[in-house]
Structure 1
Amino acid sequence: MKNGLKIAVIGGGSSYTPEIVEGFLKRYDSFPVREIWLVDIEAGQRKLEIVGGLAKRMVVESGLPIEVHLTLNRREAIEGADFITTQLRVGLLEARKWDEHIPNSHGIIGQETTGPGGMMKALRTIPVLLDICKDIEELSPNAWLLNFTNPAGMVTEAITRYTKVKSIGLCNAPIGLQKSLVSKYGAAPEHIYTEFVGLNHLHWVTRIEVGGEDKLDEVMAENAYSAANVTAGEWDPDFLRSLGALPSYYLKYFYMTDEMLKEQVEAFHHNGTRAEVVKRVEDELFELYKDPNLKVKPPQLEKRGGAYYSEAAVNLMDSLYNDKRDVQTLNVRNGKILDFLPEDTCIEVNCLVTGAGPIPLPLTRVPEQVKGLIGAVKTYERLAIDAAVTGSHDLALQAMVHHPLVPSVQMAKTLLSEMLEKNKLYLPKFFG
């Protein structure tokens, strides 16, 4: 076996990069990384150099024999890589701003992974990821691609359906819940079991066990499963009790649409869109990263909505590399797990992680009342994925119409027209 592992981080100029580098340093004994390649595009070169400088200082501080390479040459980074991660944002935060603002201006939820905004992000992102996959098929066909580019479930499904690349999608919500339960109960992570049912950003937790004891009702009663970037009020306790499962905080967009929209509009008038808030946090982070005396990941990074993404990614790499056979919540091909969805679709469920890849675990129960929403959102997702690949206006319109947060055909046509126009630069297939 070759001496140490090669990792390629596509979107290496991301503000999240110090977290993934920290993960590699912490796990070096079990996951011996020899080369980290941070790759970005020309527009991201300044950020790549700043964050790359910090990554190099972190490695020097650790004393470990790891080389950090910064490059704009994606093929050079991918060639011979063992693991490739993608954390990119096509159109940068400027595109996200319009994903949020245009729907809000029509009285519709504006969010970067859910609803019309999530659809635009998918249309911009999927062709870029499929292009990257062509390089992976050619230059490192045995590599694992770990995707946490949002919308992670849709991007991973596109890769699964349209390429031969070994791809797994992941999200920070499951690891975030796990950490909050470790803190609440003072239990070791291996003594906590949570079962997830659904899709990326559309899941329900149907089992929580701590040391073998059922704690689902207790956790639901506390109403504490939340995230910095998805707030609004608490869940209605009668609704939660009768649902019999803990919904992801992203489900507030579907179950509490009016409150979430009201909060988005108010937040926009006070602070601008979420994209503009994130831009300010990012600018602050990059100012910190520039400091030549900074040699560790700064705590301010956790203010970004995706805290623990990178920890989830390094956990997964470690388990694949060492055939650990532990349980992780991942975005993988459905097969026969959710029998009311197509087999080649992507779902978010618990998997046993082996050296040959993740094996999705059978579910204890799938509440009847969640199947309709899963089915409706999956119909939208599959239409949007095929629209992204083909550039078909007809498929894009059908995807927009069939998203549960879009109330009418006329609204779907209006949103699609305005949002495609704003994204013209990134959607050449739609504009011939």
Structure 2
Amino acid sequence: MSKITFLGAGSTVFAKNVLGDCMLTPALQEFELALFDIDDQRLKDSENMLINLKASMGSSVQVKAYTNRKEALRGAKYVINAIQVGGYKPSTVIDFEIPKKYGLRQTIGDTIGIGGIFRSLRTIPVMLDFAKDIKEVCPDAMFLNYTNPMATLTGAMLRYGGVKTVGLCHSVQACVPELFKSLDMDSNNVQWKVAGINHLAWLLEITRDGKDLYPEIKKRAIEKQKEKHDDMVRFELMQRFGYYVTESSEHNAEYHPYFIKKNYPELIDKYNIPLDEYPHRCVSQIEEWEKTREDIVNNQNLTHERTHEYASYIIEAMETDVPFKINGNVLNNGGLISNLPTKAVVEVPCLVDRSGITPCYVGELPEQLAALDRTNINTQLLTIEAAMTGKREHIYQAAMLDPHTAAELSMEDIVLLCDDLIEAHGEWLPTFYKESVLK
């Protein structure tokens, strides 16, 4: 029996989406769905939920929970990763509350910025431990990474893990439908092309029957900006730089130096920026889980409809050899995007079939878009450098080159902030914390 292993299976709702999709895929009916999580209760919850879902949908997959990670991985053909190292408490709270003391505010904090840097530093060592196990017990497995920060984690796995890896995000699939819904436009029969880096990929082309739809999009967006809405940052970026970005305004507000500024507090209201959105969302999700847990975990009539998450479609294409196109996060080897660094992880169209995942050549991005992406790539590459060398100065440098952090804080304050975060995270950052203790 072939095996799909899900690491971080205690993310019950996400496990339902991704593995429920697999249950609905005919080519995957004889697979074992192997579940692993370090939280025994959440692991049991997901196991119960998936067993009920299997029965209600009449799927013939096998669901099995493991408390030993290596055994969960043994013989796996595909590995899906959805972990969060440090969780909401203590780590996410630390990532937000300590920067506030320096006047540095964030919205999501999971991609770059101070929050993204430290989330990467917590997670990369764990991912490389996964890679060691994979090379031992399932060396041919395809590793499907859903965990953020996408570019740094996928880059570390591809450059240092020695494991076949692709990074997956749903911002590309959602980009055009959400844009057209926002502007009250018909999204049927549109063709589009997206490329860039994760969360800063760009809608390069959007047509219907050969007609460029960008003029109408921009016209409607200008009118839309006259009222408050949730996409004001993205529309402003499109107006100034010419193209629409795939990820949400709440994310993009902290990827650039223009929007969250303590000396211009009026910008927060002007662009409708939800500061501390991710911690607030975590609290809401925890409260919602407590209310709905019984209905999800022990519901014998639980149902599911296939989502737009890429995982099941990738596995299906590799099993059946029926090609499927995705936008995947891969190394920019060979200059897939020729005006971005080769060490960068780029998000580009990829063809999936039995031979695996084949990225497509994009060529040059419009120079202004490549420039915006490079500002984020700088921090991503130095964060990986810090994780792999254990050198604290690379953490400082990654933070100094982060557009939002550099726009708000002095070099000295950036160093002090990073030191405070290392101290607060403690054993979640064993290499750097040990150095602090020894000093």
Measure, in 2, the Cα distance between the counterparts of 1:105 and 1:282. 31
State whether residues 51 and 289 of structure 1, in contact with CA within 8 Å, keep that contact through their aligned partners in structure 2. Answer: no
Write out the 4+ residue segments of structure 1 that deviate beyond 6 Å after TM superposition.
Answer: 262-266
Measure, in 2, the Cα distance between the counterparts of 1:333 and 1:379. 15
Deviation at 1:113, TM superposition (A): 2.2
SS in 2 for 1:207: strand
Query: Partner of 1:276 in structure 2?
Result: 283
Measure, in 2, the Cα distance between the counterparts of 1:221 and 1:182. 13
- Flag structure 1 segments of 5+ consecutive residues without an equivalent: 225-230, 300-306
Letter in 2 for 1:391: G
Query: Partner of 1:304 in structure 2?
Result: none
Q: 2:296 aligns with which of 276, 283, 289?
A: 289
Query: Partner of 1:256 in structure 2?
Result: 259
Encode CA deviations 1:51-108: one digit per residue, 9 max, x unaligned: 2101000001122221100111111111111110000000111112222333234332
What is the CA RMSD across the aligned residues, in angstroms? 2.9
Is 1:14 the counterpart of 2:23? The answer is no
Deviation at 1:177, TM superposition (A): 2.1
Q: What pairs up with 1:342-353 in 2 under 5 angstroms?
A: 342-353=341-352
Query: Partner of 1:108 in structure 2?
Result: 104
Query: Partner of 2:225 in structure 1?
Result: none
Query: Partner of 2:371 in structure 1?
Result: 372
- Flag structure 2 segments of 5+ consecutive residues without an equivalent: 223-228, 435-439
Q: 2:211 aligns with which of 210, 213, 228?
A: 213
SS in 2 for 1:135: helix
Deviation at 1:179, TM superposition (A): 4.5
Measure, in 1, the Cα distance between the counterparts of 2:390 and 2:210. 50
Percent identity (aligned): 26
Q: 1:417 aligns with which of 397, 416, 419?
A: 419
SS in 1 for 2:116: helix
Deviation at 1:147, TM superposition (A): 0.2
Encode CA deviations 1:101-145: one digit per residue, 9 max, x unaligned: 332343324222231001111000111001001111111111100
Measure, in 1, the Cα distance between the counterparts of 2:197 and 2:352. 19
Q: Are the structure 2 counterparts of residues 280 and 245 from structure 1 closer, same or farther at C-alpha, using a change threshold of 3 Å?
A: same
Q: Are the structure 2 counterparts of residues 166 and 399 from structure 1 closer, same or farther at C-alpha, using a change threshold of 3 Å?
A: same
Q: 2:82 aligns with which of 80, 87, 99?
A: 87
Is 1:246 the counterpart of 2:232? The answer is no
State whether residues 143 and 163 of structure 2, in contact with CA within 8 Å, keep that contact through their aligned partners in structure 1. Answer: yes
Measure, in 2, the Cα distance between the counterparts of 1:210 and 1:35. 42
Measure, in 1, the Cα distance between the counterparts of 2:96 and 2:284. 12
Is 1:71 the counterpart of 2:66? The answer is yes
State whether residues 7 and 33 of structure 1, in contact with CA within 8 Å, keep that contact through their aligned partners in structure 2. Answer: no
Measure, in 2, the Cα distance between the counterparts of 1:55 and 1:375. 41
SS in 1 for 2:9: coil
Worse-matched range after superposition: 100-109 or 175-184 = 175-184
**TM-score normalized by the length of structure 1:** 0.85
Query: Partner of 1:185 in structure 2?
Result: 186
Worse-matched range after superposition: 193-202 or 116-125 = 193-202
Measure, in 2, the Cα distance between the counterparts of 1:56 and 1:316. 23
Query: Partner of 2:393 in structure 1?
Result: 394
